[in-house]
Every structure is written in C-alpha cells, then in structure tokens.
Amino acid sequence: MNIPFFKMQGTGNDFIVINNMELKLSGEQLAQLAKRVCQHRISVGSDAVMAVDFPEHTGDFRMRFYNADGTEAEMCGNGARCIARYAYEKGLAKEEMTIETVAGDVQAWRLDERLYKVQLNEPTTVAFDCEFSENPELVIDYVELGNPGIPHLVVHYPNLATTELADLRDLAKKLRFWEKLPKGANVNFYELTNQEVIVRTFERGVEDFTLACGTGSGSTAYALRKRQLIEQDPIVLNVLGGVLKVEVSDQALNLIGDTNIVIEGIIRDEDLVL
C-alpha cells in the first residue's frame, strides 16, 4: 500500500502526517500504522502519526493522533501546529482554522510561512502541591487540558539545565505511572532562572523524553503564571528542540512555534500490514 505523507517537526517533535480523507483507514489501522512506521531504523521513524480526517461537526477537519506505541492521544500542541500547516499547504483550510480533537476544538492561525499559533484546550482540572511520598521535597502541580483531559505533571527541578536526562529517567517513569493518576501523565520538569524557563518532558505513549511537548509547555506556563512566578507574556520556554512561546490569559493558552516540513513522499514499507 502506497501512503502519501509529510514528515514534519515542530521544535523537535516529529510527526508523520497523512490525509485520511483520501486513505479512509480505520482507527485500528491507524494504530497499526503508527506502531510500524514510527519505528526508527526499520521504518520512517517518528514520535507519532497524525491523520487529517473529516470533521464530525463544525470544524475544518478532525485531527487523529496516534503515539508511536499505537495508543490514541487526546491532543498534541506541537502536532496541532504542524497539522494546521499541513492542512493549509494542502488547501484543506485557510489561514485561520478550527481543528477538532478528542479533547475539544482547537483554533489555529498561520502567522507566516512557518510560524503557527494554536489555542490549547483550556485547563479543566488543576491541583497544586501534590505530595509524592517517594520524594516529598518535590514541588509538583497537576494540570489537565481539555475534556477528556490531557494529564500533565509540572515538576520543579533545581539545576535542571545541567542534569543529564539519564539521571532523570527513573524519577520520570515513577511519576509517569504514579498510581494516583488513573491515566498516568506527561511529566514536565522545569527550572526557572532570571525569567528563563527550561523544560524537559517525559511523554506517555512515547515513553521517553522528547525534544518538546506543546501541551506540556502550555501546562507548565499555566502553572508558573498561577503561582505568580513569572510575569512576561508570552512566556518563553526553552525545550530541547528549541523555543516555544505560550500566551497566558486567564484560562486561555496560545502556543506559538516554528514548523518544518522535512520530507514529502510515499511510504512503501514492505513489512507494513494493515
């Protein structure tokens, strides 16, 4: 089966993007596709597969998002920016568009050729100063975006900039699968120095650190603003893949960042079975 695709990345989150309005793959097939083609070395390699699909109500299109392990996610901020550009480039949407996601509708705007802004799903569940018995000194907040919510832990971690990811991985896994959280969570470690925010995110579904997480950056910015730890707007966050900006206005979160079309081609993986 030949599958036309874009490979795109936004601050290091990379995605395989397809038009399911044409391919008409089922949810099960999309999950199988993701599990195969997201694998590095033996296939295309990516954090996730995103499919543009027919809208179910008044949106311009529906965004279907499948992690590398085949699980379907509620939404992805960096993915939304990339799929917005894909839709614009393919003539499926105009410069301002509405994207339907599992977590709710998302507005998106084309700011220039590569720069896109998306309005993240609003925080629906928030808890500050969550107590983690294995390390009670950690300052941990919990933020869910959208409904059903995308779960995030926001964890203050001193000296994050000089800490190796390998030294964080065991803690990240424990928090990712914390028994208090029925859905688990993306784990966002942050350090704030001189109004500079450094973020490192361990993502569920990928089950490792990624170069960026849009909803994680939005959740981190929201927690910092609510704690009155930072005043600048937009809040600038330094992630492994570059820089993201988050506008915070009460409950509204707008994510701004670069998009990059890396490859346009055809997937012809001879070991792919759908």
Catalytic residue numbers read 76, 213
Among 78, 71, 105, which residue's Cα sits nearest to residue 183?
71
- Tell me the three state secondary structure of residue 107: strand
- Residues 6 or more apart whose CB falls under 8 angstroms from that of 213 comprise 13, 76, 77, 78, 186, 188, 199, 201, 203, 239
Q: Please name every residue paired with 208 in a beta bridge, in sequence order, or none if there are none.
A: 203
**Most distant CA atoms of the chain, gap in Å:** 54
Give which of 265, 194, 271, 202 is closest to 239, Cα–Cα. Answer: 202
Q: Are 187 and 151 in contact (CB under 8 A)?
A: no
Amino acid symbol at 228: Q
Smallest Cα–Cα separation from 88: which of 67, 116, 66, 65? 116
Report residue 251 as tokens.
Answer: 């409950």
Give CA torsion, residues 59, 61, 62, 65, to 10 deg: -130
